[in-house]
């Protein structure tokens, strides 16, 4: 949340790494692009600076604090952003897991039961909306309920903060030892692994997860030497149309793979 008291401005914002304007997102975005890149440690400090307990963090001449009062669970904003970036996909969000947002007063008014199993989920307003949109694709793991009375400045009261840390650690360990919680985590872990395995088989994953693009190295005289191809499929089309390379069948597999390997670049630093 930015804090410009001289302008009377206090509203929640969303830090993100993409610069494109996204329709449907209710929060103002602060991107990490030039001319002043935002360091991840500054974002972590700012989003953890609870008002009244920690000082705000200056980022690009604006002081930011924790905005959890307004957006304790940002899962809905994440869902909206992914949907806007993937309008060509019928259901781009396959599985969305909310960790540790905790129970809210709204939860006594709404419950969501998993349609195909014994698992039972209670929900806040965000949980309710996402459960309606994603059905069994949205899950919430709230965390220990016996820490609701833990004050944010309790670590100061016990001096070193060790007792507070010890209490949180023991409570969390007991929470995750519950059979129902264990079963839910194992189920979600299995779902995530299956999705990851399925996605890893696609060409699009190279660009999305690894930042891989292609610059043609097939010929020093290629007119597209300075052009970056976003995925392997578009680069292979280029090889076929511009360089008369054969399709990637069994006979030409090794040659096409070598051309792809030689032309592969990464945008991740």
DSSP designation for 39: P
CA 258 to CA 183: how far, in whole Å? Answer: 45
Q: Which contacts (CB < 8 Å, 24+ apart) does range 150-156 have?
A: 152/50, 152/53, 153/53
CA 127 to CA 111: how far, in whole Å? Answer: 9
Question: What tens digit of pLDDT does each residue of 92-126 get?
Answer: 888 999 887 655 444 443 344 444 444 444 556 88
Question: What tens digit of pLDDT does each residue of 200-228 get?
Answer: 667 667 777 677 888 888 777 787 767 78
pLDDT at residue 77, as a whole number: 82
Average confidence (pLDDT) over 246-255: 82
Question: What tens digit of pLDDT does each residue of 141-153 get?
Answer: 888 888 877 777 7
Alpha helices in 88-178 (DSSP H): 125-134, 154-157, 162-176
Residue 31: how many CA atoms within 13 Å on its side-chain side? 9
pLDDT at residue 2, as a whole number: 57
User: Which are the contacts of 213, defined by CB distance < 8 A and separation ≥ 6?
Assistant: 207, 228, 229, 230, 231, 264, 265, 266, 267
For 242, the enclosing helix (H) or strand (E) is: helix 232-243
Q: Are 228 and 236 within 8 A, CB to CB?
A: no
What's the start-to-end Cα distance of the chain, in Å? Answer: 28
Percentage of residues in the chain with pLDDT exceeding 70? 76
Report in angstroms the alpha-carbon separations of 219 from 25, 93, 197, 264: 44, 40, 35, 14
Q: Are 18 and 30 within 8 A, CB to CB?
A: no
Residue 64: how many CA atoms within 13 Å on its side-chain side? 21
CA 40 to CA 240: how far, in whole Å? Answer: 42
Residue 233 confidence (pLDDT) above 80? yes
| Structure tokens belonging to residue 240 | 């076929």
Question: What tens digit of pLDDT does each residue of 1-49 get?
Answer: 555 544 444 677 878 776 666 565 566 777 766 567 788 898 889 888 8
């Amino acid at each position: 949340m930015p804090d410009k008291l001289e302008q009377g401005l206090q509203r929640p914002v969303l830090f993100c790494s993409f610069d494109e304007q996204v329709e449907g997102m209710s929060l103002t975005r602060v991107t990490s692009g030039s001319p002043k890149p935002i360091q991840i440690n500054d974002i972590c400090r700012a989003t953890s600076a609870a008002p009244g307990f920690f000082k705000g963090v200056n980022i690009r001449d604006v002081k930011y604090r924790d905005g959890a009062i307004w957006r304790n669970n940002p899962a809905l904003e994440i869902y909206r952003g992914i949907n806007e970036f993937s309008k060509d996909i019928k259901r781009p969000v396959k599985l969305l897991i909310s960790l540790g947002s905790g129970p809210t007063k709204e939860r006594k008014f709404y419950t969501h039961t998993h349609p195909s199993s014994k698992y039972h989920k209670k929900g806040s307003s965000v949980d309710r909306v996402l459960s309606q949109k994603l059905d069994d694709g949205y899950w919430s793991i709230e965390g220990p309920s016996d820490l609701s009375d833990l004050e944010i400045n309790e670590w100061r009261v016990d001096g070193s903060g060790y007792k507070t840390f010890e209490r949180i650690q023991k409570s969390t360990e007991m929470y995750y030892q519950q059979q129902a919680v264990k079963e839910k985590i194992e189920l979600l872990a299995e779902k995530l692994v299956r999705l990851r395995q399925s996605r890893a088989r696609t060409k699009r994953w190279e660009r999305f997860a690894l930042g891989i693009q292609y610059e043609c190295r097939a010929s020093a005289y290629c007119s597209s030497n300075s052009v970056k191809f976003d995925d392997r499929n578009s680069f292979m089309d280029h090889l076929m149309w511009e360089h008369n390379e054969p399709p990637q069948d069994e006979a030409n597999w090794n040659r096409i793979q070598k051309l792809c390997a030689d032309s592969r670049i990464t945008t991740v630093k």
